[in-house]
A and B are shown apart, each in its own frame.
Chain A
Amino acid sequence: MSTPDDDHSELSPLEIRVRALESALVEKGYVDPAALDLLIDTYQTQIGPRNGAQVVARAWRDAEFRAWLLRDATPAIASLGFTGRAGEHMIAVENTSEVHNIVVCTLCSCYPWPVLGLPPTWYKSAPYRSRVVRDPRGVLRDFGVELPEATAIRIWDSTAEVRYLVIPMRPGGSVNLSESELAALVTRDSMIGTGLALTPPPLIA
């Protein structure tokens, strides 16, 4: 942590501006500095896309859970311990060979925090938000993803307080994997729809 004696000469104008704001808010008693550190730590170490990967892996292995997740995602996801801010109203959508789902927030950066954590920079960027609703295949190419021509594309623009989680297609060769091995195949981008789940490494005979 910094101290008041720190030399500010090497700080950027933004760093100085943010420090001034934080100092003013702490001084007025509007924020608890320990709460700030805890909030940052929570999103750096506890709430991230590995949560969502657990949800997907469970859905791949457990048909009853999958049905629950597709029918009523908020309590299904809560049953694994993931609830709250920016995930109060969840909907899960499933990729198949017929339809590929992609999530965006064209108006700001709405994103399912309890299962995916903080959104990546590209998700919040103008290129993604402007292009994906109009030219999703072009955006997918930026991620190195090429879908079969016959696959329909379904875009979910998160314009209200509902948050969307994509259940990617389960890769071939994953029949005998455990839930944690399956979760390791589930990338963040595959749960937004800009990526696919990883293919498991070939079995060593």
Chain B
Amino acid sequence: MSYRSHADLGGCTESRPVIPEPEGELFHAPWEPRVLALSLAMGATGLWTIDMARAARETLDDYASLTYYEIWLGGLEKLLRDSGAMVEPPIARPAPLPAAAVAGVLARGWPASRPAQGPARFSVGQSVRTILKRPDHHTRLPEYARGKRGRIERVIGVHVFADASAQGLGERPEWLYTVAFDGAELWGAGDALTVSVDAWEPYLESE
């Protein structure tokens, strides 16, 4: 196993409190908005996918000790190194996002839905079990929800498959579902708690 995400935190032992923050407080150092903007601007060039960006961030060795924008900065530096855009001569030459295009690009976003090529395997209300095995690459099924029995709550549609997109294998769209779990199934006990994840079809097996 070589791929290791440091970002899969759901259910981990954690004794620190959550510290609320006022609404207008967006940044805590002058460099933070620059990192935000650089990440958004470079992301918009299409040099990498959002899934590749998440993979770059979650595999930073010192992830746990970094602040949020330090993680973004480290991820951006890693993506740029891997992209071939920073060597001379560049292997990739991304075209910049022009200021005039910013509003339109943000308003359009990057929809992940794709046309269905076949019927969904599961339907609302059906019992499913999530796969147990963690793959050796970026994935979006949290550890706490692996090998658990849940039920299909919503058939969302066909979306770009994060696991494939993160590895640069193309979009390989798959059906995406909201899968709900009883708290007791996840944690052994749960006082009227339900937790759901959004899971692509390859994460699920019939129960």
Q: Which A residues lie at the B interface, using CB under 8 A?
A: 12, 14-15, 17-19, 21-22, 24-25, 28-32, 34-40, 42-44, 47-49, 83-89, 91, 104, 106-109, 114, 117-118, 120-122, 124-134, 136-137, 139, 142-143, 149-162, 187-189, 194
Whole-angstrom CA separation of A68 from B45 in the bound complex: 35
Contacting residues, chain A, for B94 (C-beta < 8 A): 30
Contacting residues, chain A, for B108 (C-beta < 8 A): 83-84
Which residue from A15, A48, A104 sits with its C-beta under 8 Å from B29?
A15
Task: State the main secondary structure of chain A at its contact with B.
Answer: mixed
Q: Once the chains bind, are B18 and A106 in contact (CB under 8 Å)?
A: no
The tally of residues in B whose CB lies under 8 Å from a CB in A reads: 89
Q: Once the chains bind, are B96 and A126 in contact (CB under 8 Å)?
A: no
Known interface pairs A160-B162, A162-B156; 6 further A-B residue pairs with C-beta atoms within 8 A, sorted by A's residue number:
A17-B73, A40-B36, A130-B9, A134-B11, A142-B17, A154-B193
Whole-angstrom CA separation of A149 from B109 in the bound complex: 40
Closest to B23 in A: A188
Q: Once the chains bind, are B70 and A36 in contact (CB under 8 Å)?
A: no
Q: Which B residues lie at the A interface, using CB under 8 A?
A: 5, 7-14, 16-21, 23, 25-26, 28-31, 33-38, 40-42, 45, 50, 54, 57-58, 64, 68, 70, 73, 76-77, 80, 85-86, 90, 93-94, 96-99, 101-103, 105-113, 140-142, 144-145, 154, 156-157, 159-160, 162, 176, 178, 186-187, 191-200
Task: Report the minimum CB–CB distance from B18 to chain A (whole Å).
Answer: 4
Task: State the main secondary structure of chain B at its contact with A.
Answer: mixed
Which residue from B26, B107, B178, B191 sits with its C-beta under 8 Å from A118?
B26
Which residue from B20, B77, B107 sits with its C-beta under 8 Å from A142?
B20
Task: Report the minimum CB–CB distance from B172 to chain A (whole Å).
Answer: 14
- Whether A38 touches B99, Cβ cut-off 8 Å, given contacts A28-B90, A107-B58, A162-B156, is yes
Q: Once the chains bind, are B11 and A44 in contact (CB under 8 Å)?
A: no
Q: Once the chains bind, are A21 and B77 in contact (CB under 8 Å)?
A: yes
Whole-angstrom CA separation of A158 from B196 in the bound complex: 9
List, sorted by A's number, 13 A–B pairs whose CB atoms are closer than 8 Å. A21-B77, A22-B38, A24-B86, A28-B90, A31-B97, A42-B102, A43-B36, A83-B107, A122-B18, A132-B18, A155-B195, A157-B142, A157-B145
Which residue from B16, B93, B196 sits with its C-beta under 8 Å from A126?
B16
Closest to A124 in B: B68
